[in-house]
A = this chain, B = another copy of it.
Amino acid sequence: MTVEERIERVLKDAVRRTRRASAPETLSEAISYSVFPGGGRMRPRLCVAVAEACGGKEPKVCDAAAASLELLHCASLVHDDLPCFDDAAIRRGKPSVHRAFSEPIAVLTGDAMIVLAFETLCEGAAHVPARLPGLIRIVGRAVGAPAGIIAGQAWESEPTINLSAYQRAKTGALFIAAVEAGAFSANSDPESWTQVGEKLGEAYQVADDLHDAMSTGDELGKPVGQDARHRRPNAVKELGVTDCISRLKGLLGEAISAVPPCTGRAELVLMIEQETRRFIPRRLAACAA
């Protein structure tokens, strides 16, 4: 089974647990709609890749950690799309959850997916419970207050934004958690991986800014120009396209340099390099070669 298949399987099992004959059907339909078909599944793939690079012998644990991060990522997308935030009509090329279902269902879908993420993590690590507190800490820190993705979104409600805390919370936190949870599930020191996650998170932020500024909506599967519309910081506006691409490549190089010694280092580096191609908008791929 490929890594991608393993991730989809754990996600499917998790979503299936939300269904039952005597349960409200729309909620479980909306949860499934929010998770499938997925986007790049970058964070869970990274989590599993790091666990394997560390020689992890507990695929069940790292798959559960990976799936929990993906569920939390999907939950944040559903809530970020709500009318009181981005009011986005389209996500992953189809109507956003509040458009396809309703606003109440979108709020509840995000809520239920946060709970499901912790349940999924728990089920995957229940046979090695001593690992569970560390995993919950890594995942919780990446999502909640003071410095996870929810806090990142909350920065947009502050009169003055601390730009580095904002970007680290909104984008970096889940990448940091992906590498840390991967390492921890393989019995390796999560902190020796933090910097890899930080640099990949920053690279992704720059890539996302490039996509937002340069792609068409069809390429992206969501509305473009959202940063300008919501007056959010965007690296393209700040640096210009060429310098942005240089910065992106520089950050990916720094991420690779930060990978600590481990048994599967070469494969992991290759995977991060391949990821670069996904990061760069198609029409800019030529300039980035």
A110 near B111: Cβ-Cβ < 8 Å: yes
Known: A145-B112, A146-B18. A154 touches B105 (CB 8 A): yes
A145 touches B31 (CB 8 A): yes
- Which of these binds chain B: A4-12, A77-85, A257-265? A77-85
Instruction: Please indicate the chain B residues that have their CB under 8 angstroms from the CB of A26 in the complex.
Output: 154, 157-158
Contact residues on A (Cβ < 8 Å of other chain), bracket: 35 or more
Q: Do B140 and A115 have beta carbons less than 8 Å apart?
A: yes
CA gap between A26 and B161 in the complex, in Å: 12
Bound: A114/B140 CA distance, A: 10
Inside 8 A of A162's CB, which chain B residues have their CB? 22
Stretch of A131-139, A203-211, A216-224, A269-277 with 4 or more beta carbons under 8 angstroms from chain B: A131-139
When C-beta atoms are compared, the residue in chain B nearest to A118 turns out to be B118
Any chain B CB within 8 A of the CB of A143?
A: yes
Task: Out of B24, B82, B133, B157, name the residue touching A157 (CB < 8 Å).
Answer: B24
3 residue pairs, one from A and one from B, having the closest CB atoms:
A23-B146, A115-B144, A18-B145
